[in-house]
Every structure is written in C-alpha cells, then in structure tokens.
C-alpha cells in the first residue's frame, strides 16, 4: 500500500513538471512502467494483508465456536446430571414415604390383634369375666377402674388409692389426645379402656347349657348375636383409630428434625399418623425442604411434585377406609332405625330370665 501511494505521488509530480518533448517522452514511458509495477506490487501486498486478515478472523471464529461448543456441551452435561441424579430432598422423601407405608401396614397388624382380644371379651368367651355372668363382668370393670384410674373423689372417700391417671377410662383424651401413644403401654391401655367404657363396659353374659339347647332361646340368641355384631362393628372403628396412633414405625432423621423444628419431643419411634403429619408439615413449613426446592433444577422439582402426589394418594386411601367405616356404621344405624319403626323387639336379650336355669357341666 505504501509503494502504491509513493508511485501515485511520483506520477503526479512528473505530470506537473515541464519537460522537453524528447526527454518527456522517454521519461513518461519509464515512469509509467515504474508506476504500474509499483502499483501492482502495492495492491498485491494489500491483497496479501487482506487474505491474512481473513484467515486470522477465520481462526478466531473457529476457536470461539469450538470454545462455545465445549461450554454448551458442559452445560448440557450438567443439566443431564442434575436431571438424573437424585437430590438429598428426593432421598428424604423416599425414606419418609417408606416409613409411612410401613407404619400403615403395622397399624393393621395392631388393629387385628386388638380386635381378637376385644372379640373374646365382647362375646363372653371362656376365661373372660362375662363367661361367668354380667355381675362378674361389672365387678371386673370396677376393679380395673380402681386399680388404674382411681380419682381424687374416690381416693378421698377411701375407695381406692389415687393413681397418676385419674378417671382415665372415662376421659376421651386417653384415646384422642395425641398423634401417638408413645412407648409406654399404659397409654394405649388407657385408650382401649376408654373405648370399652364408651361402647360396652359390661358385655352380655354367655348363653350356656340348656339356654343354648332350649327351643325358646333361638329367638333370644338371634337378637343377642345381632347385638354383638353391631358392637363388633363399632369396636372395629375404635380399634383402627387406636391402631393408627400406636407406636409402630421408626422415624427417619428428617422426621425427627421436623419434630425438633416444631418444638416437639424428639422420639426414635412414632405412629403412622404421626409420621404422616410430620411429612406433611415438613413440606408445608420446613425451611430446609423449601430452600432445597428453590435450588433444584426443573426435573428435580417435578420429582418432588410426584412424591407429594403419591403422599396425597396414600392419605386419600386412608380417608377412603375411614369413609368405609362411616358408611358401615351408618348402615347399621339405618337398619336399627328401620327395625325400630316397624316395631320389631329390640330388647329380646332381656328375656334371658325366662329361660330355664342352665346346667353347666
């Protein structure tokens, strides 16, 4: 480029300088040749510079594209990693869900065991107080009350010695006062005793000997069995209620942390109902879980939503079972109402005194 400019300058100076005709012709020819040679060389150099500049720009673009491609690949790899690697919150949700499921299964085992004991007592089976008569059953219930639930008034009258749970068998808090009965067996015993007092403190005496064989006892046995069936239905509702609060599952670290956050006593074990409520409260008000949600990638948030929906389905299933209990109870009440409206006898079992004296062998 510099040579081209110098050549142009020389040409201009030659053009402007007056020369003799002969010398001017020779000089003009030489100057023009030199000018053309220098011009061509200058433009050639310029073209070389442009080609080098273009090549450099291509290399810069290639390097930038390569670096950006690597960056985007790393970003995508991180996204894939975040979408496929379980977060700590997901692991906690899974552990808590397993604890809740185990607690639900164990509560059914507890309910079955409690129902088996309650059935023998209600039906006046052998070796139960009602087997020997309602008087024995009433005396046994009064003795249990004095030993376990003696009140201040009874203690002042000298009937019994005051206990640490006065009138626990007639106070609903013994059964409904918490989410878990805890490790002490006295707590669940108090819940069972309240249920007995609320539903059937004194079972009907057993039909034995000639009472079962006499022809006139068939109608009485029929109504007695029907009464026991309704009592069994009512007792099962209370039994499942108690079982859901029985200590049947080991709480996870996240659930124990939620207990501490709520200001509750931290325990190693708890009930199904307690584990379910802690999981709901952890998502509702737990700072750690809510902070983790804000840091999660979209895929992890979707997994947490799926986990919450699964918990909701579990609770809806338990709600369905409770609604079934309500429907069964309403069916029994409806049958009793219809029977009462049609004038059928409701107290046939009271005619036990008309039966012959049983001969027990």
68 C-beta neighbours (distance < 10 Å), count: 10
Specify the residue for token string 């007792």.
Answer: 235
pLDDT per position as a tens digit, 12-63: 454 444 544 555 555 567 777 777 777 777 777 777 777 778 888 888 888 8
**What's the rounded Cα separation, in Å, for the pair 272 and 230?**
27
105 C-beta neighbours (distance < 10 Å), count: 11
Q: Which residues pair with 78 in a beta bridge?
A: none
**What's the rounded Cα separation, in Å, for the pair 150 and 165?**
8
pLDDT per position as a tens digit, 8-24: 554 445 444 454 455 55
Q: Which candidate, 80, 82, 72, places its Cα nearest to that of 297? A: 82
DSSP assignments along 314-343, one per residue: HHHHHHHHHHHHHHHHHHHHHHHHHHHHTT
pLDDT of residue 14: 47
pLDDT of residue 269: 93
Mean pLDDT of all residues in the chain? 82
pLDDT of residue 89: 83
DSSP assignments along 203-249, one per residue: PPPPP-THHHHSTTHHHHHHHHHHHHHHHHHHHHHHHHHHHTTSEEE
- Where the chain has pLDDT below 50, the residues are 1-7, 10-12, 14-17, 19-20, 345-346, 349-350
pLDDT of residue 39: 75
Specify the residue for token string 């190693």.
Answer: 268
pTM of the model: 0.71
């Amino acid at each position: 480029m510099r040579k081209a400019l110098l050549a142009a300058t020389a040409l201009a100076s030659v053009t402007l300088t007056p020369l003799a005709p002969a010398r001017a012709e020779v000089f003009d020819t030489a100057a023009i040749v030199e000018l053309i040679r220098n011009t061509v060389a200058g433009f050639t150099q310029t073209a070389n510079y442009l080609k080098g500049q273009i090549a450099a720009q291509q290399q810069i673009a290639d390097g930038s594209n390569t670096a950006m491609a690597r960056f985007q690949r790393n970003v995508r790899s991180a996204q894939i990693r975040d979408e496929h690697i379980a977060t700590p919150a997901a692991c906690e949700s899974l552990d808590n869900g397993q604890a809740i499921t185990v607690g639900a299964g164990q509560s059914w085992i507890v309910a079955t065991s409690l129902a088996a004991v309650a059935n023998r007592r209600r039906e006046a089976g052998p070796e139960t107080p009602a087997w020997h008569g309602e008087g024995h059953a009433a005396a046994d219930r009064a003795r249990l009350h004095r030993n376990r639930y003696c009140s201040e008034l009874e203690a002042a009258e000298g009937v019994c010695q005051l206990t640490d749970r006065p009138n626990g068998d007639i106070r609903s808090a013994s059964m409904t006062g918490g989410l878990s009965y805890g490790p002490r067996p006295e707590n669940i015993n108090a819940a069972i005793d309240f249920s007995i007092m609320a539903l059937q403190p004194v079972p009907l005496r057993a039909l034995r000997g000639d009472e079962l064989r006499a022809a006139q006892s068939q109608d009485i046995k029929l109504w007695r069995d029907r009464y026991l069936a309704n009592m069994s239905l009512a007792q099962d509702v209370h039994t499942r209620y108690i079982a859901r609060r029985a200590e049947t599952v080991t709480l996870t670290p996240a659930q124990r942390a939620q207990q501490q956050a709520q200001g509750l006593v931290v325990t190693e074990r708890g009930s199904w109902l307690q584990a379910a409520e802690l999981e709901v409260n952890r998502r509702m008000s737990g700072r750690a879980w809510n902070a983790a949600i804000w840091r999660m990638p979209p895929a992890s948030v979707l997994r947490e939503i799926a986990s919450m929906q699964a918990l909701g389905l579990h609770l809806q299933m338990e709600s369905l079972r409770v609604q079934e209990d309500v429907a069964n109870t309403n069916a029994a009440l409806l049958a009793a109402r219809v029977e009462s409206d049609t004038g059928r006898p409701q107290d046939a079992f009271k005619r036990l005194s008309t039966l012959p004296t049983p001969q027990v062998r």
